[in-house]
Amino acid sequence: MALTSAQDLAYVVFSAPDLERMRAFLLEFGLREAEGGDADSLYMTGWGKAPFLHKTIRGEQAGFAAVGFDVGSLEALERLAIADGLPVEDLAGPGGGKVVHLTDPDGFAVDAVAGRAPQEDVLPGGRNWNQYGRVTRMGRKDAELSTGPSHVMRLGHLVLSVAHAPTSEAWYQERFGLLVSDAIELDDGHYLGSFMRCDRGDEPADHHSLFLAQNGSDPAYRHAAFEVLDMDDLLVGHDYLEEAGATKSWGVGRHLLGGQVFDYWRDPFGHVLEHWTDGDLLVSSDQARRYGMKELHSRLWGTEFPGSL
């Protein structure tokens, strides 16, 4: 039985030598600066409820530093702390809360968090679209749209390369109760890894919050994905980033696995960040499926996979 049942990703943490350069890109990407930063730390939030989604700490070398999972309650956090013999500590940054600092089998820093104070949603829900036979919007579309960055609402998922996918999967399942949505197996029988989601029972959860890939490389960060308001928001933000001279990675398109519309970019230090919208939602009773490499990189429409991210 799992020690906790993670409800969602909380945040990602990076290091970078130039916080102002990172801040400028993240504003263009659609995040907002949160209070609580200083000369050596930058907190960025979105337009949803999370007090912060992205943290950068000043460091000589740029790199991925940590991921946070929200485990839902202080009681769950304490169970995890006792099981791993670790302290429950105060969580620094906007929203406060408590944290247990873990290290996964590949050496990635993983924070289990609870008790963060949410902020108010800044934006309303997505804008309506008219479809053949179903009218949901009256009036002029231009009244709803403006040029500028996308509006990042929340953090959706993280992708990591790992040394041995079954070992890493078991670790995340035991501590956070993650469920396998889709597993990837190559034609020669090699097990590549799996898309894993939070177990919220009958409440819908994203198709995946974590994808672990055993692809023959050293353990490494691959990308983090942020949900934007809607399709219009993603495409307007795409044009804005392109005009700002940001580095494109892959997109726009719609994934086969997970179903989301995607748009991948690189921050100034090479980390891949994804905008996405309209992803698949699953409940705990949905069964895991198995696919191959062809399906992993397939898109229902859009630009072809560039070969690497």
| pLDDT of 283 over the 80 cut | yes
pLDDT in tens, 17-32: 999 999 999 999 999 9
Tell me the Cα Rg of the chain.
19
Helix (H, G, I), strand (E, B) or coil at 294: helix
Residue with tokens 């873990």: 102
Q: Report pLDDT for 123.
A: 76
| b/e map 268-301, b = 16+ CB within 10 Å | ebebbbbbbbebbebebeeeeeebeeeebebbee
- pLDDT value, residue 309: 74
- Does the pLDDT value for residue 188 go beyond 90? no
Find how far residue 70's CA is from the centre of its chain. 13
Interval 137-185: pLDDT, tens: 888 877 677 789 999 999 999 999 999 999 999 999 999 999 999 999 9
The string of DSSP letters for 88-146 reads: -EEPPSTT--EEEEEE-TTS-EEEEEE-PPPPPP-S-SPPP--BTTB----S-GGGT--
Whole-number Å distance between alpha carbons of 160 and 178: 15
The residues spanned by each domain of the chain are: 8-118+151-302
Which residue would you say has higher pLDDT here, 233 or 189? 233
List all residues 6 or more positions away from 149 whose beta carbon is below 8 Å from its beta carbon. 27, 28, 29, 30, 237, 240, 241
Please give the pLDDT value at position 53: 98
**Model pLDDT for residues 109-142, shown as the tens digit of each residue:** 999 999 999 998 887 666 788 888 999 888 887 7
8-118+151-302: CATH architecture? Roll (3.10)
- Can you tell me the distance from the alpha carbon of 13 to that of 192, in angstroms, rounded to the nearest whole number? 25
Residue 212: the pLDDT is 97
Pick the closest to residue 17 from 270, 220, 266, 219 (CA basis): 270
Task: Supply the pLDDT for residue 17.
Answer: 98
Average pLDDT, the chain: 95
Residue 261: φ, ψ to 5°: -75, 130
Query: Which pLDDT belongs to residue 126?
Result: 67
In the prediction, which pLDDT does 147 show?
85
Asked whether the predicted pLDDT for residue 49 surpasses 70, the reply is yes
Q: How far apart are CA 77 and CA 96, in angstroms?
A: 15
**How much is the pLDDT for 124?**
65
Record the tokens describing residue 256, joined without a space: 């086969």
Of 44-48, 135-139, 246-250, 252-256, the least confident: 135-139
d(CA 82, CA 249): 42
Residue with tokens 């002029």: 140
Residue 241 scores a pLDDT above 80 = yes
